Amino acid sequence: MNTRSTTKRPKTKKSAPKRTTKKSALKKPAPKKPAPKKPTSKRTTKKRATKKHRAGKQKQRPSGKRIAYWLAALLLWGGIALALVVGYIALGLPDTSKLPLQLRSPSISLLARDGELLARRGNTGGEAIKASELPSHVRDAVISIEDRRFFHHYGIDVRGILRAGFENLLAGELRQGGSTITQQLAKNLFLTPERSVTRKIREALLAIWLETRLTKEEILSLYLNRAYFGAGAYGIDAAARQYFGKSAKTLSLHEAALLAGLLKAPSRYAPSHDSSAALQRADLVLRAMLSEGYIDAKTAGDAEGDISISMLSGSLDVNYAVDWLAARIPYYLGGQDEDVVARTTLDTKLQRHAEDVIAEAFTRESLRDKDIQVALVAMDVDGSVLAMVGGRDYRESRFNRAAQARRQPGSAFKPAVYLAAIESGFSSHSKQLDAPVSVDGWQPQNYSGHYRGEVTLEEALAHSINSVAVRLSEEVGRKRVIEAARRMGITEELRASPSLPLGVFEISPIELVSAYAPFANGGYIVAPHGITELREADGTTLYKREGSGGGRAVNARELDEMNRMMRKVLEYGTGKQAHLGERPAAGKTGTSQNFRDAWFVGYTAQMLAVVWIGRDSGKPMEEITGSTFPAEIWRAFMLRAHEGMPLRPLP
């Protein structure tokens, strides 16, 4: 029999069982739900996300040591790169083994062909004066306005550079420079005036080198004796004599301030250019001296008004020619260590005539616009330059339009076209059709707007008919026209385009007039020149011009035809305003597109001259053509230039 063991349990009070449905009894007991979270605002959520982001960032952020490492590496490699660049630039430094310690720069005395002194370049007649020999206010004025920390830097003034940069930043434009007196001296002694970063680095290196070799006294002395003060005056003593007729040793305070003020922009502030601007600049220097403590307010006030500018007599416009000549001397001599006397081909009488007729012409109402400029070159038939004017006023602009400007000659180039045609078998009486013409889709127009039908070459050149010049160029060939121009002496680039015969390339006035010389001298090419002899002050000859120039450019038959045709230009053609009466003369007018350039080039058997009028900007003029003012100026000059000369037929 089976038995069941039982264990007695303590009795507990039983609760009444809950009633459940069959369905609910089959379900598993539901897990306990977590306690509901407290509601959070969007702001709180954002804060938590930001904290997590910052925490992540802090983990990724490099340590201070790592930053220091990369900064040191960057500085090291940057320094190496800078040293390499500076070292490379230093390789191009000029030779400093022979430091020019003479106080004054060598001078060039330029004489006219009759021996009269025209001008001096370099040290223009002043003494070589040490800074210690000058009144203290002269030195103080220069230092106050040019380099106030001159005695406290070693060639480069870092503080001055930062100050200038800050002032320029505030002004929004370049108003101040950071160059020291030593840097300016380095540029004057060894470098060119080009504006480039490379040149500035070389200038700084040379300035430091100068500071190691010279005392401050020596640097200041060299600077004052070599600086340019305007009006052709190099050196402070030359400037004192030029503007005040006295030695720099006797300059008053205000005079010293005026000269110191010129150093920033000699051409702009020179009394010869603008006396009021020079005086305003002098007052600025006085204020700088007051600010630096060199003078007190009473001294500055007393100084004003004690100045009397007495410019040396003589025209400044001759400086256009003098500048051109002085720039050519190094080609003959190379480096210059001693004073040089140069005898030139300039004729002082003709130079005055050129300046006078231009001054008279520019009193005319149509030429009073100051934007309109002028150039004139007079030349002997052998290429010797007799007179040169490069602008309406040297005080206003030193740019020499006679030698430096490149402008379109327009119809003044047509003699080369007609020469090529004559050499190809045409004559002055050959006929050509003046009618509309088209070349490769290009259709030139006559200046008059009219067409004459069949005309002779003589008539076509006299009236400067464009259609005939283009037809001739196409018939004989553009290359042949270029060859003729080359033989005449034109060296500018010439493109063999359909518009070539209308002078659409650019050329300087001096080169254009020299190209006409073969027609005046019997057919020989010339090179324009102005120096005949160079010698030292003791008379030792350094250079002497010999020879008469180039070979034959035009043969006798062609020369006769060309002179016959170009004489008609003055007799009844576009150059009637240039007619010289009984004196045989020939020439050609020229007007470029839209009245931008107006020319007259002409000659006699004794002399040639060219006159150009235009704007530096190239903007059109009010219908000024070669047949108007250029022809009139040319005639006025040539009549005066030939006074007393015998009448001679053209070759």
Q: CA distances (Å), 436 to each of 453, 460, 593, in order? A: 10, 14, 18
Query: In which residue are the tokens 């330029």 written?
Result: 110
B/e letters for 92-105, b = 16+ CB within 10 Å, e = fewer, are eeeeeeeeeeebbb
**CA separation for the pair 257, 588 (Å, rounded):** 52
Which of 146, 355, 561, 632 is labelled catalytic? 146
Nearest Cα neighbor of 381 from 585, 556, 580 is: 585
Which of 411, 464, 514, 592 is labelled catalytic? 411
- SS3 per-residue string spanning 87-107: HHHHCCCCCCCCCCCCCCCCC
**CA separation for the pair 364, 632 (Å, rounded):** 12
DSSP assignment of 30-97, as one string? PPPPPPPPPP--HHHHHHHHHHHHHHHHHHHSPPHHHHHHHHHHHHHHHHHHHHHHHHHHHTTPPP-S
Q: Kindly give, in sequence order, each residue whose CB lies less than 8 Å from that of residue 305, ignoring residues fewer than 6 positions away.
A: 254
**CA separation for the pair 267, 343 (Å, rounded):** 26
Total Cβ atoms within 10 A of residue 339: 17
Tokens of 338: 């001693």
Q: Kindly give, in sequence order, each residue whose CB lies less than 8 Å from that of residue 384, ignoring residues fewer than 6 positions away.
A: 113, 345, 529, 530, 532
Active site residue 146: yes
DSSP assignment of 537-592, as one string? TTS-EEEE--S----B-S-HHHHHHHHHHHHHHHHTSTTGGG--TTS--EEEEEE-
* Structural Rg of the chain based on CA atoms: 41
**CA separation for the pair 583, 638 (Å, rounded):** 10
Q: Kindly give, in sequence order, each residue whose CB lies less than 8 Å from that of residue 545, ignoring residues fewer than 6 positions away.
A: 529, 531, 532, 533
Query: In which residue are the tokens 């042949």 written?
Result: 480
**CA separation for the pair 582, 591 (Å, rounded):** 27
DSSP assignment of 396-428, as one string? T----TTTT--B--GGGGHHHHHHHHHHTT--T
β-pair partners for 609: 378, 602
Active site residue 448: no
**CA separation for the pair 181, 131 (Å, rounded):** 13
Q: Which is it for strands 340-344 and 531-536: parallel, antiparallel or unpaired?
A: antiparallel
CB distance 407 to 614 below 8 Å: yes
Helices (H) and strands (E) in the chain, counts: 23, 12
**CA separation for the pair 243, 611 (Å, rounded):** 33
Total Cβ atoms within 10 A of residue 336: 16
Residues with catalytic annotation? Answer: 146, 411
